[in-house]
Structure 1
């Protein structure tokens, strides 16, 4: 009579999976805390009340719709573009006042495009809130 060999019990692969998940958890916990937290007594600089100054190569659109370039008032978009070289007309940067209605900004952007402006970029303020 032949003896039947006992079948080896199969190991569950879930132990290996649990180990991998645990190692990933530890990795992300360590990676997420590499940056030192700010000191609790540190007060960051507040720039909300500082008067901003537009970059020198931008068209400023004031709250009342008035245009100015390098401190000089511009009668309209066409007059502003006529003072620029063909190369400078390819990218126009505008700085709108925060209180400028969106409809006025769109109208001025259309006027710039109609007068021959290429790409129009709006320069804005980036804040940490």
Structure 2
């Protein structure tokens, strides 16, 4: 007696692969491709600097705005318009004590700043 050849379960395998494909299409986000005419900038030679409207706080607590010393947080806010006071950016030195940073942020809030944003360096993986 000759045994008939066993069938390969290829249909089941195709169904599983198809379902996985559908799952990843739904679960993942599909982004539109960039236009072919767009050339992205190279960021190798860019020097990092603070935003122009941000107040820089040095490790010794000296406040600077656009390279000039600012006496206190209220003087900094006086240079901003009412709309710019909604979000105030500060760039603290890495060695500035946290207590000083919190104190300056509180001064900004009591002087009329809406939100105080701390600008920091983004760590690369």
| TM-score, scaled to structure 1 | 0.61
Trace 1:9-88 onto structure 2 (pairs within 5 A). 24=20, 52-88=48-84
In the other structure, the counterpart of 2:115 is 119
Alignment RMSD: 2.9
CA shift in 2, pair 1:69/1:22, >3 Å:
same
Shift of 1:84: 1.5
Matches of 1:110 and 1:21 in 2, distance apart?
58
Shift of 1:103: 0.5
The ranges of structure 1 where at least 4 consecutive aligned residues each deviate by more than 2 angstroms after the TM superposition are: 17-24
| TM-score, scaled to structure 2 | 0.63
Matches of 2:117 and 2:63 in 1, distance apart?
16
Matches of 2:107 and 2:88 in 1, distance apart?
12
In structure 2, stretches of 5+ residues that fail to align are 1-11, 29-42
1:128 aligns with 2:109: no
Higher CA-based Rg: 1
1:70-89 per-position Cα deviation (integer Å, ceiling 9, x unaligned):
11110000111112211111
